[in-house]
Amino acid sequence: MLTSRNNPMIKQIRALRQRREREATGLFFIEGIRNVTEATQANAAIEQLIVAPELLRSQFAQELVVQQRQQGITILEVSGEVFASLSSKDGPQGLAAVVQQQWSSLAEVRPEQGLCWIALNAISDPGNLGTILRTGDAVGATGVILLGDCTDPYDPATARASMGTLFSQRLVKATWAEFRQWLGQSGFNLVGAADSASSHYRSYRYLQPLILLMGSEREGLDAEQQAQCQALVSLPMRGQADSLNLAVATGVLLYEILAQADQAAANKA
């Protein structure tokens, strides 16, 4: 059992808090029974489990550790103090993991997959991204395409906000130029959200296969990005605020897309 916070292995794990280290190693850190369970159920490439026996009181989690050990996963046992030095939680549960990142390419994005894809341009808030991943999973979206300078989906804050759905949603990253070039041959319909759009989000018919394009928290979609869309839709704003939180707006649109898809399926039945 490791009992020193300055152990080289512990320092390497702690360094995964930094994006530069995550990008250099292709690894990321998750903690909590739910997140680790989701990772195992999704057959994520787990490098090692970090376990603090004195903190791990859940019988379910203890059995999970035994199962993972039997499957050949490396188990790193640490003291409660060492685990607390890795944790970002007030009450750490004593279970964490180092996991390999998983990325798809634009070439792997196929029209027949899922309800839709979500493209996010320059999203900067990790909590928003985690919430969008969680909502995408809820409606049956396939994944998220990150365009331009985006926050890291493997940031610990994103992983927490995603509630484990980081492992069910596929992730792609590309520049806007790469996305635009690929889009013309992809077969997808691209629908964007803009406050200046004349089409109410519920009056527009979302045609499959679909990519929902959302702009950054501050700037939204620029003129070129709007021009690339087959259609632009807007959400009504009747109060004092002039915009919605990006994750909330994305969620509203995704559930409208789901409702229309369900209705179309019912009409065919």
Range of the domain at 116: 106-267
Res 90 pLDDT > 90: no
Whether 120 and 252 share a structural domain: yes
Whether 133 and 259 share a structural domain: yes
Residue 7: its H or E element:
none
Whether 31 and 126 share a structural domain: no
Residue 54 — φ and ψ, nearest 5°? -70, -20
* Among candidate residues 63, 80, 100, the one where a domain is terminated: 100
Res 91 pLDDT > 90: no
Whether 132 and 235 share a structural domain: yes
* Among candidate residues 100, 130, 163, the one where a domain is terminated: 100
The average pLDDT across 32-49 equals 95
Specify if 228 maps to a domain: yes
Q: Which residues contact 151 (CB under 8 A, 6 or more apart)?
A: 123, 124, 125, 126, 129, 158
| Distance in Å from the first CA to the final CA of the chain | 59
Sign of CA dihedral 62, 64, 70, 72: negative
Question: What is the model's pLDDT at position 10?
Answer: 97
Whether 129 and 261 share a structural domain: yes
Whether 112 and 171 share a structural domain: yes
Rounded to 10 deg, the angle between the 33-41 and 59-70 helix axes is 40
CA distances from 141 to 46, 209, 213, 241 (A): 24, 11, 13, 29
Please state the domain count of the chain: 2
- Of 170, 12, 10, which is closest to residue 101 (Cα–Cα)? 170
- Of 130, 94, 170, 134, which is closest to residue 255 (Cα–Cα)? 134
Q: How far apart are CA 134 and CA 136, in angstroms?
A: 5
CATH of the domain at 67: 3.30.1330.30
Res 220 pLDDT > 90: yes
Three-point CA angle 35, 40, 45, nearest 5°: 105
pLDDT tens digits, 167-215: 999 999 999 999 999 999 999 999 999 998 999 999 999 999 999 999 9
Per the document, the length of the chain is: 269
More confident residue, 68 or 242: 68
Res 243 pLDDT > 90: no
Whether 254 and 151 share a structural domain: yes
4: exposed, middle or buried (Cβ count in 10 Å: 0-12, 13-18, 19+)? middle
Specify if 3 maps to a domain: no
Specify if 232 maps to a domain: yes
Specify if 137 maps to a domain: yes
The average pLDDT across 249-261 equals 98
* Among candidate residues 100, 119, 141, the one where a domain is terminated: 100
* 74 SS3 class: strand
Question: What is the model's pLDDT at position 242?
Answer: 75
Question: Do the Cβ atoms of 94 and 55 come closer than 8 Å?
Answer: yes
Beta strand 27-31 pairing with 95-100: antiparallel
What type of residue sits at position 27? Answer: L
Question: What is the model's pLDDT at position 233?
Answer: 97
Whether 52 and 113 share a structural domain: no
Q: What is the dihedral of CA 150, 199, 184, 169, to 10 degrees?
A: 40
The average pLDDT across 1-9 equals 95
Peptide bond into 111 cis (omega under 30): no
Average pLDDT of the chain, as a whole number = 95
Sign of CA dihedral 104, 108, 109, 113: negative
Percent of the chain with pLDDT over 70: 100
Whether 66 and 147 share a structural domain: no
Res 113 pLDDT > 80: no
